Amino acid sequence: MGSGHFFWAIFYFASLCSASLANNAKINFREKEKKVLDQILGAGKYDARIRPSGINGTANLATIVKVNMYLRSISKIDDYKMEYSVQLTFREQWTDERLKFDDIQGRLKYLTLTEANRVWMPDLFFSNEKEGHFHNIIMPNVYIRIFPNGSVLYSIRISLTLACPMNLKLYPLDRQICSLRMASYGWTTNDLVFLWKEGDPVQVVKNLHLPRFTLEKFLTDYCNSKTNTGEYSCLKVDLLFKREFSYYLIQIYIPCCMLVIVSWVSFWLDQGAVPARVSLGVTTLLTMATQTSGINASLPPVSYTKAIDVWTGVCLTFVFGALLEFALVNYASRSGLNKANMHKENMKKKRRDLEQASLDAASDLLDTDSNATFAMKPLVRHPGDPLALEKRLQCEVHMQAPKRPNCCKTWLSKFPTRQCSRSKRIDVISRITFPLVFALFNLVYWSTYLFREEEDE
């Protein structure tokens, strides 16, 4: 029995030793990673200046680099500078057979590095970049993962300001395509080829919010370029942005319509209210000019006409036309008054002449008639008598045959003035003509530019 107890004691001690060794192995597992890194990246074993071989270690084939990205945010789209800013997580993946290692029966899934200069890196650059920077808060946002089969994954978070040439002919009813282009700087397609990763090469953060645009869709494509030094591999992402029209409707179109309508108030003011009509016309004209200059200040000075230029130009023309209409009304009013005054003066002069002639005739009769009989006015006027001619003309006017009624003249006759002047009729015509022409312009404007927008789609 003593020998049996001794055997079980030895077995128990051996179990404790094996458990201790297993725990030590778990604790020293990081040492395995260090040994692997020293083994594959040690001095004299790996040269980061040499590009990896092609597929299956073929030396005369190009290195394939697969690219994908995650768009984190799009901060702004600047119409004046024609650029946009984007923050993204950029990833590249390639195979370097020199970095193969033993995964210790699947326990070592990958190795992680934070120093990009330790391994060979593709010389990719963003061809339409204006500015860019890496993120180093609180540590550099970059990592490199090396997998047991020699596959390398490079990931980095960067912010870029990229050029975006825009066509503003339909502004603000336009759509813009902004590209993000990536190409090799020094390696030609014989040595290095970029490919989009299969599946979902570009991902966009959910609930992407832009103040004045909406990201409708994005497309991935290739854009290889040929130069004097060879052909270089290139990738691009086309981002299709649609401009939000509600902002411009509230800030530009509705205020311009209100200014045009306010300028029409002068048609309903009395033609004698010169200060009120002049002040109203000049104020609306200056306000419209200020509105137009403010719109153009936020846009680049392009050589073609934009949709907003047509709108503001026509609105400014309507406001200026209302001011000119008052000038015409004032001129017509003064002209009518001068003619009326001249007519009154002529009638007064004729009456004075007639009265003087009657007095002279009466005095002649008194001188010649010794019985001092009074001269009686003849009951029948002679044909040459001016007073008889005036009465006859009035009779002819009242006895003219009735003419066929004219709708326009009948409508205009509902707005008589004391002197039936043309100035009042000009105001009446303007009250109808200006709104009708402006409504017709709106119909043509919106149908034209909305139809062109659908064609562009």
Task: Evaluate whether 168 touches 111 at the Cβ level (below 8 Å).
Answer: no
Task: Give the SS3 label for residue 157.
Answer: strand
**What type of residue sits at position 148?**
P
Task: Evaluate whether 177 touches 113 at the Cβ level (below 8 Å).
Answer: no
Task: Evaluate whether 95 touches 150 at the Cβ level (below 8 Å).
Answer: yes
The DSSP H or E segment spanning 69 is strand 63-78
Provide the 10 A C-beta neighbour count for residue 378.
Answer: 8
Interatomic CA distance for residues 297 and 370, integer angstroms: 98
Interatomic CA distance for residues 281 and 265, integer angstroms: 9
| pLDDT digit string (tens) for the chain, length 457 residues | 455 555 555 655 556 555 454 554 454 567 888 888 888 887 778 888 888 887 766 767 899 999 999 999 998 899 999 999 999 999 999 999 889 888 877 778 888 888 888 899 999 999 999 999 999 988 899 999 999 999 999 999 999 999 999 999 999 999 999 999 999 999 999 999 999 999 889 999 988 888 889 999 999 999 999 989 899 999 999 999 999 999 899 999 999 999 999 999 988 888 778 888 888 889 999 999 998 898 888 888 888 999 999 999 999 999 999 999 888 888 877 765 555 556 566 666 667 767 767 776 666 655 555 444 444 445 445 555 555 545 554 545 444 555 565 665 665 555 544 444 677 888 888 899 999 999 999 999 999 998 876 565 5
The residues spanned by each domain of the chain are 30-242, 245-339+434-450
Interatomic CA distance for residues 141 and 204, integer angstroms: 19
Q: What is the pTM of this model?
A: 0.71
Q: Which CATH class is domain 30-242?
A: mainly beta
Closest to 181 (Cα-Cα) out of 221, 231, 236 = 236
Interatomic CA distance for residues 250 and 246, integer angstroms: 6
Residue listed under structure tokens 């994005």: 218
What tokens does 314 get? 């026509």
- Cross-strand bridge partners of residue 241: 176, 215
Q: What is the CATH number of domain 245-339+434-450?
A: 1.20.58.390
Provide the 10 A C-beta neighbour count for residue 36.
Answer: 19
**CA 179 to mean position of chain CA atoms:** 18
pLDDT tens digits for 327-353?
Answer: 888 887 776 555 555 656 666 666 776
Residues in the chain: 457
pLDDT tens digits for 375-422?
Answer: 444 544 555 555 554 555 454 544 455 556 566 566 555 554 444 467
End-to-end CA distance of the chain: 95
Per DSSP, the residues of 347-377 read HHHHHHHHHHHHHHHHHHHHHH-TT-PPPPP
